[in-house]
């Protein structure tokens, strides 16, 4: 774990990914300031019906992308350069090395997600400055379940991608597959006739955070899985992805 | 170096037993057996595609054998908890992340095996990279990468060392340095296995040779034994060659004309040739035993084992 952490923090791609997270946290601040400014220009009647995206909305786009990148690169970049052989020569027990390759970026993304989401929500509250904007004015503790759901989902996506990376061994293949699951499959699922549209959407990884916990002041709730079922499904995805990844990692020649 | 003067440990052994490795229908290594002992530099030779790198990968647990065993210090490499303390290996100098600094590259390796930062500094100084320790590896020449790979192999002060083509990309000073390093490591009692295509280099560096072709063992011998086996007789010059031919042929020698009016004599050694010539009063200007170079011996030994060869024009 310590060696993988040293690897992760000694390459520029890690800082680029975490920099994107930080940049989107700043975007949350900008979004909150804009929402507050917009609110000030509304009439009383419009304010009563005004619905805004929550302050952490920009991060809900960036975090899954960054999770896929950080989950893939520690494994696929080593296959690309051949350095995986050096890693295995230093740590010949495949399960230990694979666990570290998944856990270290998973923990890093969990911490980065939680910190950036907290910054986003706190910035929203500061920008709202007492204005009764729905999604901004709830107490911080009301946001915590959703922030945790988002952070856990981000970490889970990182772990799932690590498993996928061990199977595909290709940076392009792994990232393309991850992006397709996150951004191509959900719109395609929406094209399906009811009730299949809702059913398929509800089991996709990208929709599970919203089903585990709703952000305060969310405008509408789609029918979906109960929170516990969503969490269990997410855990099942992680277990399957890591299980398959670990098996392939251990059995295939390096 | 903790091994100086120890004379080596009986544990520091590489042992390959009936090793076979198949990739699909291709047999890369075919029933290969050999042993590498401490205190010597053992050259691992063979044409391209002979199975040298595959054997090294199996030894390091990177590829699983189809059958047979490849053992280091009596057990499989994958059973070692902190392998860098027992085995150091340089397989591919290019297999590093170009964006990582040399110090960080060795740093994570050290951390993975419980080795301190002080040792990282030591090996960087030992291989002559201390001045570029904070530079990114992507900017290194092939020779510098080779040195970094050698530093990684030395990191855990191991008793067994494996180098795959270690002089690739090194300048003459670097070649001399790695030659001296390998000799010094063996003199400290370590087990050193070096694969190389450079026969002249192996002639200067190796004590023993394991020669393979098409995945099979061709020779497991000392450099001297191999060159002697392919010795090409004795070169003789005399002002009376016609008489000498008759005398030597009568003594059981096989005599052929050599360039420059000399004779090439097989079947008689230098002393016998001198004695016979003296007995018949034939003067000799030159009597030179012609041992084969390692390269010549290797070429004869591996003839027919090359997998890839150019068509003569």
* Residue B266 and residue B210 in one domain: no
Which residue among B92, B100, B104 sits closest to A82, beta carbon to beta carbon?
B92
Report CA-CA distances (Å) from A99 to A96, A107, A159, A231, B106.
5, 12, 10, 21, 21
Neighbours of A170 (CB within 10 A): 15
Q: Find the closest chain B residue to A97 by CA distance.
A: B112
Mean pLDDT of A41-60: 86
Distance (Å) from the alpha carbon of B83 to chain A's nearest alpha carbon: 6
Q: Residue B94: its pLDDT value, please?
A: 86
Q: Residue B260: its pLDDT value, please?
A: 82
Q: Residue B295: its pLDDT value, please?
A: 72
Q: What is the CATH number of the domain that holds B51?
A: 3.40.50.300
Q: Residue B309: its pLDDT value, please?
A: 54
* Rounded-to-10 torsion of CA B98, B104, B109, B114: -170
Q: Residue B7: its pLDDT value, please?
A: 39
Distance (Å) from the alpha carbon of A61 to chain B's nearest alpha carbon: 28
Pinpoint the alpha helices (H) of A136-226: 140-168, 171-179, 185-190, 196-203, 208-212
Q: What is the Cα–Cα distance from A162 to A181, expressed in whole angstroms?
A: 15
Residue-wise pLDDT for A110-162, tens only, equals: 999 999 999 999 988 888 888 888 778 788 888 899 999 999 999 999 999 99
Distance of CA A226 to the CA centre of its chain: 20
Q: Is the C-alpha dihedral spanning A5, A6, A8, A9 positive or negative?
A: positive
Q: What is the Cα–Cα distance from B177 to B157, expressed in whole angstroms?
A: 18
Distance (Å) from the alpha carbon of B299 to chain A's nearest alpha carbon: 32
Distance (Å) from the alpha carbon of B81 to chain A's nearest alpha carbon: 8
Report CA-CA distances (Å) from A62 to A65, A69, A179, B41.
5, 11, 12, 55
Q: Residue A150: its pLDDT value, please?
A: 94
Contact (CB, 8 A) for B243 and B280: yes
Q: Residue A128: its pLDDT value, please?
A: 81
Distance of CA B108 to the CA centre of its chain: 30
Report CA-CA distances (Å) from A175 to A64, A151, A158, A245, B16.
11, 20, 11, 15, 40
Q: What is the Cα–Cα distance from B110 to B205, expressed in whole angstroms?
A: 29
Count contacts between A and B (CB, < 8 Å): 83
A-chain CB neighbours of B83 within 8 Å are 89-90, 92
- Does B302 map to a domain? no
* DSSP annotation of A138: S
Q: Residue B5: its pLDDT value, please?
A: 38
A-chain CB neighbours of B72 within 8 Å are none
For helices B270-279 and B241-250, give the axis angle rounded to 10 degrees. Answer: 110
Mean pLDDT of A159-175: 96
Q: Are A86 and B80 an interchain contact pair (Cβ–Cβ within 8 Å)? A: no
Q: Find the closest chain A residue to B21 by CA distance.
A: A253
- Does B151 map to a domain? yes
**Number of domains making up chain B:** 2
* Residue B99 and residue B178 in one domain: yes
List per-residue pLDDT tens for chain B, 313 residues long.
444 433 344 566 999 999 999 999 999 999 999 999 999 999 998 888 889 999 999 999 999 999 999 999 999 999 999 999 999 999 888 889 999 999 999 999 999 999 999 999 999 999 999 999 999 999 999 889 999 999 999 999 999 999 998 888 788 888 899 999 999 999 999 999 999 877 778 888 999 999 998 899 988 988 888 777 777 788 899 999 999 999 999 999 888 888 888 898 988 888 999 999 999 999 999 998 876 667 777 777 777 666 555 555 4
Q: What percent of chain A has pLDDT over 90?
A: 62
* Pairing status of strand B208-213 against strand B216-222: antiparallel
Q: Residue B1: its pLDDT value, please?
A: 43
* Residue B126 and residue B257 in one domain: no
* Residue B28 and residue B109 in one domain: yes
Q: What is the Cα–Cα distance from A115 to A97, expressed in whole angstroms?
A: 27
Question: Which residues, at least 6 apart from A34, have a Cβ–Cβ distance to it below 8 Å?
Answer: none
Q: What is the Cα–Cα distance from B198 to B212, expressed in whole angstroms?
A: 15
* Residue B273 and residue B141 in one domain: no
Contact (CB, 8 A) for A102 and A238: no
- From the list A116, A115, A136, the residue with the least C-alpha distance to A125 is A136
* Residue B224 and residue B261 in one domain: no
* ipTM (interface predicted TM): 0.83
Q: What is the CATH number of the domain that holds B239?
A: 3.30.70
- Does B3 map to a domain? no
Q: Which of B212, B228, B244 is the last residue of a domain?
A: B228
Best mutation target among A86, A98, A101, A249 (most B Cβ atoms within 10 Å) is A86
Question: Which residues, at least 6 apart from A243, have a Cβ–Cβ distance to it below 8 Å?
Answer: A163
Distance (Å) from the alpha carbon of A27 to chain B's nearest alpha carbon: 29
Q: Residue B306: its pLDDT value, please?
A: 61
- Please identify among residues 62-81 of chain A the ones whose CB lies closer than 8 Å to any CB of chain B: 77-78, 81
- Does B9 map to a domain? no
Helix (H, G, I), strand (E, B) or coil at A254: coil
- Does B63 map to a domain? yes
Q: What is the Cα–Cα distance from A126 to A29, expressed in whole angstroms?
A: 9
* Residue B132 and residue B18 in one domain: yes
Distance (Å) from the alpha carbon of A116 to chain B's nearest alpha carbon: 26
Best mutation target among B85, B92, B95 (most A Cβ atoms within 10 Å) is B95
- Does B4 map to a domain? no
* Residue B247 and residue B136 in one domain: no
Q: What is the Cα–Cα distance from B286 to B279, expressed in whole angstroms?
A: 17
* Residue B80 and residue B207 in one domain: yes
How buried is residue B305: exposed, middle or buried, by Cβ count under 10 Å (0-12/13-18/19+)?
middle
* Residue B98 and residue B213 in one domain: yes
* Residue B38 and residue B183 in one domain: yes
Helix (H, G, I), strand (E, B) or coil at A250: helix
Best mutation target among A4, A17, A90 (most B Cβ atoms within 10 Å) is A90
- Does B110 map to a domain? yes
Task: Give phi and psi for B140, each to the nearest 5.
Answer: -80, 150
* Residue B137 and residue B172 in one domain: yes
A190 touches chain B (CB under 8 A): no
Beta bridge partners of B67: B20
- From the list B213, B102, B184, B188, the residue with the least C-alpha distance to B147 is B102
- Does B313 map to a domain? no
User: Which tokens go with B197?
Assistant: 């295509």
Q: What percent of chain A has pLDDT over 70?
A: 97
Contact (CB, 8 A) for A142 and A129: no
Q: Residue B256: its pLDDT value, please?
A: 87
Contact (CB, 8 A) for B219 and B209: yes
Domain that holds residue B281: 232-289
Q: What is the Cα–Cα distance from B124 to B94, expressed in whole angstroms?
A: 17
Burial A189-209 (b: 16+ CB within 10 A, else e): beeeeeeeeeebbbbebbbbb
Residue-wise pLDDT for A183-216, tens only, equals: 999 999 889 988 888 888 899 998 888 888 887 7
Beta bridge partners of B195: B44, B164
- Please identify among residues 6-45 of chain A the ones whose CB lies closer than 8 Å to any CB of chain B: 6-7, 10-13
A-chain CB neighbours of B77 within 8 Å are 92
């Amino acid at each position: 774990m310590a060696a993988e952490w040293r690897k992760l923090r000694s390459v520029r791609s890690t800082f680029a990914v975490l920099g994107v997270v930080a940049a989107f946290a700043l975007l949350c601040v900008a979004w909150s300031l804009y929402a507050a400014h917009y609110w000030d220009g509304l009439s009383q009647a419009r304010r009563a019906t005004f619905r805004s995206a929550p302050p952490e909305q920009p991060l809900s786009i960036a975090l899954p992308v960054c999770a896929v990148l950080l989950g893939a690169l520690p494994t696929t970049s080593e296959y690309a350069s051949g350095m995986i052989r050096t890693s295995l020569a230093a740590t010949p027990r495949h399960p230990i090395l694979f666990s570290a390759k998944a856990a270290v970026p998973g923990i890093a993304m969990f911490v980065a997600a939680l910190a950036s989401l907290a910054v986003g929500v706190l910035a929203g509250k500061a920008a709202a400055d007492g204005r009764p904007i729905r999604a901004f004015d709830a107490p911080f503790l009301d946001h915590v379940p959703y922030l945790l759901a988002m952070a856990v989902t981000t970490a889970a996506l990182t772990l799932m991608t690590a498993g996928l990376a061990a199977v595909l061994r290709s940076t392009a293949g792994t990232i393309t597959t991850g992006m397709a699951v996150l951004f191509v499959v959900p719109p395609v699922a929406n094209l399906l006739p009811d009730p299949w549209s809702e059913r398929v959407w509800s089991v996709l990884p990208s929709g599970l955070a919203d089903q585990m916990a709703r952000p305060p002041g969310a405008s509408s709730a789609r029918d979906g899985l109960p929170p516990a079922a969503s969490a269990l499904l997410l855990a099942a995805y992680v277990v399957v992805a890591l299980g398959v990844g670990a098996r392939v990692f251990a059995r295939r020649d390096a | 170096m903790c091994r100086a003067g120890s004379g080596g440990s009986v544990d520091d052994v590489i042992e390959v037993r009936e090793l076979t490795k198949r990739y699909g229908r291709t047999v890369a290594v075919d029933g290969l057996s050999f042993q590498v002992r401490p205190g010597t530099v053992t050259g691992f030779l063979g044409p391209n595609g002979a199975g040298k790198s595959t054997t090294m990968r199996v030894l390091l647990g990177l590829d699983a054998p189809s059958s047979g065993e490849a053992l280091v210090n009596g057990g499989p490499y994958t059973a070692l908890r902190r392998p860098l303390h027992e085995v150091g290996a340089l397989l591919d100098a290019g297999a590093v992340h170009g964006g990582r600094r040399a110090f960080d590259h060795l740093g994570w390796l050290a951390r993975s095996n419980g080795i301190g930062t002080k040792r990282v500094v030591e090996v960087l100084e030992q291989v002559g990279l201390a001045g570029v320790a904070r530079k990114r590896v992507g900017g290194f020449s092939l020779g510098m990468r080779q040195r970094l790979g050698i530093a990684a192999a030395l990191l855990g002060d191991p008793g067994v060392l494996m180098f795959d083509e270690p002089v690739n990309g090194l300048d003459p000073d670097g070649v001399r340095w790695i030659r001296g390093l390998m000799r010094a490591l063996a003199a400290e009692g370590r087990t050193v296995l070096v694969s190389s295509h450079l026969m002249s280099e192996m002639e200067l560096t190796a004590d023993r040779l394991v020669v393979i072709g098409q995945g099979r063992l061709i020779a497991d011998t000392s450099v001297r034994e191999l060159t002697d086996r392919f010795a090409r007789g004795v070169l003789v010059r005399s002002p009376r060659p016609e008489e000498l031919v008759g005398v030597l042929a009568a003594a059981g020698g096989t005599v052929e004309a050599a360039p420059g009016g000399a004779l090439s004599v097989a079947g008689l050694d230098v002393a016998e040739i001198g004695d016979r010539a003296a007995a018949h009063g034939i003067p000799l200007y030159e009597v030179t035993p012609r041992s084969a170079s390692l390269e010549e011996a290797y070429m004869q030994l591996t003839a027919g084992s090359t997998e890839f060869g150019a068509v003569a024009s």
